[in-house]
Amino acid sequence: MKNPQSFSLANPVVVLLTLILGFAACTQAPPIDEDQFVVEATIAGLQTAILNEQTTCREIVQAYLDRIEAYDQSTGLNAITEINPRALAKADSIDQAISAGEEQGSLFCAPILVKDNFDTHDMVTTGGSIALAGSIPPDDAFMVRRIREEGAIVIAKTNMAEWAFSPRQSVSSSYDTTANAYALDRTPAGSSGGTASGVAASFGVAGLGSDTGNSIRGPSSHLSLAGIRSTIGLTSRDGVVPLSFDRDIAGPMTRTVEDAARIFNVVAGYDPADFYTEAGRDRKEEDYTAFLDTNAVQGKRLGILTSHANPERADSAVYALFEEAAEELRSMGAEVVDFEIEGMRELMSAGNWCNRFRYDMHQYLLSLGEDAPMSDVLETLETGAYGADVERILNVIAEEEPEIIHPAERAEPCPDFADHAGRQALLAAVVGAMDEAGIDAFIFPSWSYPPAPLDNANEEYRGDNSQGLIPAAGLPAITVPMGFTNGNLPAGLQIAGRPFSEGLLFGLAYAYEQGTHHRRPPELFPPLAPDQ
């Protein structure tokens, strides 16, 4: 039996503890300074603040949750699909570990927004489709597992275009429509629009998106973010609801290039669950932040890809920004020249695309085990579990994929990337043209037009330069803010390079970002007042 005297108020230690706890209970902690620790925060900045005891992980996570609660639905932004109910508990465990002197991972207490097509073992993953409503995968996607291992907190999932079909807008049958954080009557593009608008509005410090043809770089461009599509094979797609597995890429979408490199360090690399990563097994750099040099542009020869940077096929204001970007790069010490890829149009149209969504989705649904809501995605045509935007595409897929077999086994085979003669010829042509021109990387506007009106996003879809060349050739490319048109509509500069040149691309993007500081936060989502 415990000694009752040890709990008596006569014990001076107990008296002191009682006074301290009583004072704490009656004293409300001052609200966190959002200007300093939340809005436009960086991973390194919030981690430094925690280690310097200026704030705690719990306070930071709570501040982001407060912003989501205050702004997401009330403004009509609709970037967030589900809040992680365990986010604060994870924050508390990090605070306790720091207090105990335990070593932390490289992303500790980084509140990350994750697109709704990344598997999360503790949260619903719908891929933007009502057909997967309530589906909780048995484990995390590779990238989600990796960021969690490094101490990041998945604070929320984000809305997307249904099945990632649309590069134009982010409308799902599971969670409806996401708007652009800079102009709520404009589209954030697709399909990672929820991540893009959420990160831009500081609902998290950074985010994860996926890109089959446009869906990281397009929304990042429309929301003044940095977003990278890696070389195919350098990053795993395991646990990401597929659109076309031979083109899908997943990766970070961030407010700074440095944060993109920090996350890329964690999510890039070999994964035995994704056989494509065998090709990139020994190609990952030790530390991509080592390439972040403000002088990285100096002495580089950059090519303006004239097929993608044509004033006759661009909004004049966006093209003017691109011309300014080229001059800014020259002022930083780069040689900027025109660049063409001979025979590119013919190579790009030489049968290097095939529908494989039905097959790839079948593989994904098998990974869900016995709890999978269906075994064939085309069951949705019978159940009606789809949105109006995707009905036509589902019917095309039904016609082009009458049975579930690997595309390479069809009567007209469509091999995987490494075995695809047409795509490998395109890749060789790009690298050969770069070698012949002596260029280190090439540039073009990520979109040649501003974000389209939200209520007319399909009809006014134009200017998307991220489709076609980069995904078909399996090349890496990064977009970085290059300014605004019409006062508040973001535009992005895209920088592309040879396979596995991500370090160079991070360096070039960082130097441009730091030399121009084009990004600014959306005015519609300021720091919360203390009483909000």
Per-residue buried b or exposed e for 119-156, using 16+ beta carbons within 10 Å of the residue's own CB:
bbeebbbbbbbbbbeebebeebbbbbbbbbebbbbbbb
The reply to whether 6 belongs to the active site is no
Q: In what order do the strands lie in the sheet with 111-115?
A: 80-83, 153-158, 111-115, 206-211, 249-254, 226-229, 477-485, 489-496, 441-445, 301-305, 335-339
Residue 445: strand, helix, or coil: strand
Amino acid occupying residue 333? G
Domains annotated on the chain, with CATH: 36-270+292-354+415-516 (3.90.1300.10), 357-409 (no CATH)
Strands 206-211 and 171-172, by their bridges, are unpaired
How much of the chain is helix, strand and coil, in % rounded to 5?
40, 15, 45
Angle at 312 between CA 308 and CA 318, to 5 degrees: 70
Residue 443: strand, helix, or coil: strand
Contact of 76 with 179, CB cutoff 8 Å? yes
186 backbone φψ class: left, alpha, beta (φ>0; ψ -120 to 50): beta
β-partners of residue 228 are 478
Q: Given this model, what pLDDT does residue 349 score?
A: 84
Return all residues near 299 (Cβ < 8 A) that are at least 6 apart.
333, 334
Alpha-helical (H) ranges within 153-216 are: 193-200
Contact of 450 with 488, CB cutoff 8 Å? no
Q: Given this model, what pLDDT does residue 31 score?
A: 60
Q: How far apart are CA 479 and CA 489, in angstroms?
A: 15
Token reading at 521: 């936060």
Q: What is the 3-state secondary structure (H, E, C) of 373-431?
A: CCCCCCHHHHHCCCCHHHHHHHHHHHHHCCCCCCHHHCCCCCCCHHHCHHHHHHHHHHH
What Cα–Cα distance (Å) separates residue 342 from each residue in 156, 331, 339, 430, 507?
Answer: 45, 29, 10, 9, 28
* Cα of 80 vs its chain's centroid, Å: 14
Q: Given this model, what pLDDT does residue 4 score?
A: 32
Q: How far apart are CA 21 and CA 166, in angstroms?
A: 54
Peptide bond into 191 cis (omega under 30): yes
Any idea which residue has 């005297």 for tokens? 5
Q: How far apart are CA 214 and CA 207, in angstroms?
A: 16
Q: How far apart are CA 274 and CA 12, in angstroms?
A: 62
β-partners of residue 518 are none
Kindly give the confidence (pLDDT) of every residue in the chain, 532 residues in length, as a single tens digit, with 9 standing for 90 and above. 333 333 333 343 333 333 333 333 333 445 677 777 899 999 999 999 999 999 999 999 999 999 999 999 999 999 999 999 999 999 999 999 999 999 999 999 999 999 999 999 999 999 999 999 999 999 999 999 999 999 999 999 999 999 999 999 999 999 999 999 999 999 999 999 999 999 999 999 999 999 999 999 999 999 999 999 999 999 999 999 999 999 999 999 999 999 999 999 999 999 999 999 999 999 999 999 999 999 999 999 999 999 999 999 999 999 999 999 999 999 999 999 999 999 999 999 878 889 999 999 999 999 999 999 999 999 999 999 999 999 999 999 999 999 999 999 999 999 999 999 999 999 999 999 999 999 999 999 999 999 999 999 999 999 999 999 999 999 999 999 999 999 999 999 999 999 999 999 999 999 999 999 999 999 999 999 876 6
The reply to whether 115 belongs to the active site is yes
Which of 115, 157, 284, 300 does the annotation list as catalytic? 115
Q: Given this model, what pLDDT does residue 30 score?
A: 52
Q: What is the 3-state secondary structure (H, E, C) of 336-374?
A: EEEECCCCHHHHHCCCCCCCCHHHHHHHHHHHCHHHCCC
Which of 197, 210, 215, 220 does the annotation list as catalytic? 215
Token reading at 276: 């494509």
Any idea which residue has 């016609």 for tokens? 399
Q: Phi, psi at residue 61, to the nearest 5°?
A: -65, -40
Contact of 500 with 291, CB cutoff 8 Å? no
Q: Given this model, what pLDDT does residue 419 score?
A: 95
Angle at 112 between CA 527 and CA 516, to 5 degrees: 65
Amino acid occupying residue 108? F
* Cα of 262 vs its chain's centroid, Å: 13
**Tell me, what DSSP letter sits at residue 11?**
S
Which of 129, 135, 166, 191 does the annotation list as catalytic? 191
Alpha-helical (H) ranges within 1-124 are: 12-26, 34-37, 43-51, 57-67, 87-99
Q: How far apart are CA 36 and CA 44, in angstroms?
A: 13
Q: How far apart are CA 317 and CA 450, in angstroms?
A: 9
The reply to whether 331 belongs to the active site is no
Amino acid occupying residue 53? E
First to last CA, the chain: 49
Amino acid occupying residue 171? V
Token reading at 226: 């940095």
- Model pTM score: 0.93
Return all residues near 27 (Cβ < 8 A) that are at least 6 apart.
none
